[in-house]
Amino acid sequence: MRSDAREAAFKIIFAELFCENDGKFRETIIKQAKLTEEESEFARSLVSLTLEHREELTAEIDSRSTRYAGYRIYMADRAIMMIAIAEIRYIDGIPPVVSVSEAANLARKYSTERSADFVNGVLGGIINQ
């Protein structure tokens, strides 16, 4: 399931927000998730696109979160939104509402009680522009 691939990508990107990791770390996370080869490639693609466009994604999140200064956004929420925006912008064939829904689900699982609503609101603003 792509949900599992997104979750693996989230774990990798979240860790990358704190320190740069090597390919071995990334592959360990993917292996632990027990993904199929197709799912593994999807996770790798998400990670690659997110890291490649990191500055652009960060700027978009900061410009859309009008009620919060960038430094106040939880790192888990930031990682989740970066992945979702990368998926929306750079991967064809996935409806944006699916990316937003998956991001909200990750926020429910890995962040605060109110994070899913925050992530949903920011990403909803991006896809509805």
Domain containing residue 58: CATH number: 1.10.940.10
CA distance 79 to 96: 17
Domain, as residue range, for 93? 2-127
Read off the amino acid at residue 80.
I
pLDDT digit string (tens) for 40-61?
999 999 999 999 999 999 999 9
User: How many domains would you assign to the chain?
Assistant: 1
Reading the chain (129 residues) residue by residue, the pLDDT tens digits are 899 999 999 999 999 999 887 789 999 999 999 999 999 999 999 999 999 999 999 999 988 876 766 667 899 999 999 999 999 999 999 999 999 999 999 999 999 889 999 999 999 999 987
From CA 106, how far away is CA 120, in angstroms rounded? 11
* Two tokens, residue 43: 């996770």
The CA–CA distances, whole Å, from 17 to 47, 56, 66, 127 equal 12, 14, 21, 24
Nearest to 59 by CA among 46, 45, 73: 73
Task: Find the length of the chain.
Answer: 129
* DSSP 8-state assignment for residue 73: S
Total-model pTM? 0.93
Q: What is the reported pLDDT for 113?
A: 86
